[in-house]
Amino acid sequence: MQVYLVGGAVRDHLLGHPYHEKDYVVVGATPEQLLAEGYQPVGKDFPVFLHPKTKEEYALARTERKSGVGYHGFQFFTDTSVKLEDDLIRRDLTINAMAMDDHGQVYDPYGGQQDLQHKVLRHVSEAFTEDPLRVLRVARFAARYATYGFTVAEETLQLMRKIAQSGELSALTPERVWKETSRALMEDHADVYFQILKDCDALEVLFPEINALFGVPQRPEYHPEIDCGIHTLMALKQACLANYALEVRFAVLVHDLGKALTPVEELPRHIMHEERGIPPVTQICDRLKVPTALKNLALIVCKEHLKCHQVKNLKPGTLWRLLQRLDVLRRPEKVEAFIQACECDAKGRLGLEQRPYPQAQYMLDAMQIVRNIRAQDLPEHVSGPEIGEMLIQYRIDALAKFKEKHIN
């Protein structure tokens, strides 16, 4: 029985990239042997065991054969005759098809170290096309390792395009698509994930609402980059640079979906694109089963982001109602997330990435002003329904004084 560290841990060890999870492959063993040594079985489709002490995963070396549609459509074969090379060849990328023994010796039958050196994401074999999930995984790896300058090999991109055009992507469950996408959104270069999906025709299949933005023009005086799709990825890049939370990144990704629905005769203007964006944002959230909190923020950013850009020109009552819709009194963190997404929209424009966004501080100050006014600040004789009405008036009056101070 031989045990090897495999996959991502070997890749990241050689790359000098931080990693936490370790996976092992066991060659020349049977399930009975591992059970006798105290390993706990956890695999449903093929024998995977947890180490009795470390709880790390140990899988028996296996081969696989395509037997159905999608990423579950495989039959697995494990036996003491399965060699390490047989197990590694079924993996997606060469940089993931390396193994290391407990002496630190690397086994690299498919050129993973060379591709690491040349910073290339390349498939191991033609069997790559049998698993549609690999399209998303490669795009996510491209986003993760863009920092190091990695690119997807052209021949691998062609295979990804073949998968996208085959219809197999429809076999992916919404939960799996969202899992891969949410992980990709938290990478430092999340924009690369969506660009790679577009390059291999998968964006049109999995995210048609986002794909529809590419090629749609905007007014160059506001958007020097012109293209709505390019702007969306530039705004997402700003969210990554600022290390914002997942909910902010997702809201930025979908904030302009309404622009794809602008009538051609109105282009390059996008009147009412905020309202037009509500149905496609709702559609993408419902289809992918996006968590409710993320959906709610995405919808309000879509609908209200122009008001944040114009906040200094809003009437005090209008600003109060905006803050109310953002649930300012109960969830100030939602207001902050909204502001962050709007700032990414403002800075996700060609040549304007570094421009100041004073609207952010203005909104934050306004939020604090209304939150500081409470029932105990009202005259003692006020009671019943009058309390709520007077609180609103006090807050609007305070916002009026705040605005006057900024004007002067």
* Residue 73 predicted with pLDDT over 60: no
pLDDT in tens, 121-138: 999 999 899 999 999 999
Lowest mean per-residue pLDDT among 168-172, 275-279, 286-290: 168-172
Q: Which residues of 21-51 are buried (b: 16+ CB within 10 A; e: fewer)?
A: ebbbbbbbbeeeebeeeebeeebeeebbbbb
What is the C-alpha to C-alpha distance for residues 182 and 401, in angstroms, rounded to an integer? Answer: 42
* Residue 165 within any structural domain of the chain: no
Mean pLDDT computed over 239-251: 98
* Residue 338 within any structural domain of the chain: no
Three-state SS across 243-291? CCCHHHHHHHHHCCHHHHHCCHHHCCCCCCHHHHHHHHHHHHHHHHCCC
Contact 242, 340 (CB under 8 A): yes
- Which range marks the domain in which residue 21 is found? 1-130
Annotated binding site: 8, 11, 21, 23, 91, 137, 140
CATH number of the domain encompassing residue 82: 3.30.460.10
At residue 382, the pLDDT reads 67
* Residue 186 within any structural domain of the chain: no
- Among residues 313, 209, 310, the alpha carbon closest in space to that of 254 is found at 209
* Residue 396 predicted with pLDDT over 70: yes
At residue 408, the pLDDT reads 62
* Residue 24 within any structural domain of the chain: yes
pLDDT in tens, 295-352: 999 999 999 999 999 999 999 999 999 999 999 999 999 999 999 999 999 999 999 9
At residue 381, the pLDDT reads 65
At residue 46, the pLDDT reads 66
At residue 69, the pLDDT reads 53
Mean pLDDT computed over 59-88: 75
Mean pLDDT computed over 281-285: 98
* Residue 99 within any structural domain of the chain: yes
Q: At what angle do helices 174-185 and 273-288 cross, to 10 degrees?
A: 120
What is the C-alpha to C-alpha distance for residues 51 and 360, in angstroms, rounded to an integer? Answer: 50
* Residue 49 within any structural domain of the chain: yes
* Residue 254 within any structural domain of the chain: no
Q: Average model confidence (pLDDT) for the chain?
A: 93
At residue 124, the pLDDT reads 97
Contacts of 250 (CB under 8 A, 6+ apart): 182, 185, 290, 294, 297, 298
* Residue 118 predicted with pLDDT over 60: yes
Higher-confidence residue of 273 and 18: namely 273
* Residue 80 within any structural domain of the chain: yes
Contacts of 352 (CB under 8 A, 6+ apart): 224, 346
Annotated binding site for Mg(2+): 21, 23
- Among residues 253, 157, 245, 251, the alpha carbon closest in space to that of 207 is found at 253
Global confidence as pTM: 0.91
Annotated binding site for CTP: 8, 11, 91, 137, 140
Place 79 in a pLDDT band, splitting at 50, 70 and 90. confident
At residue 77, the pLDDT reads 75
* Residue 386 predicted with pLDDT over 80: no
Annotated binding site for ATP: 8, 11, 91, 137, 140
Our count of domains for the chain comes to: 1
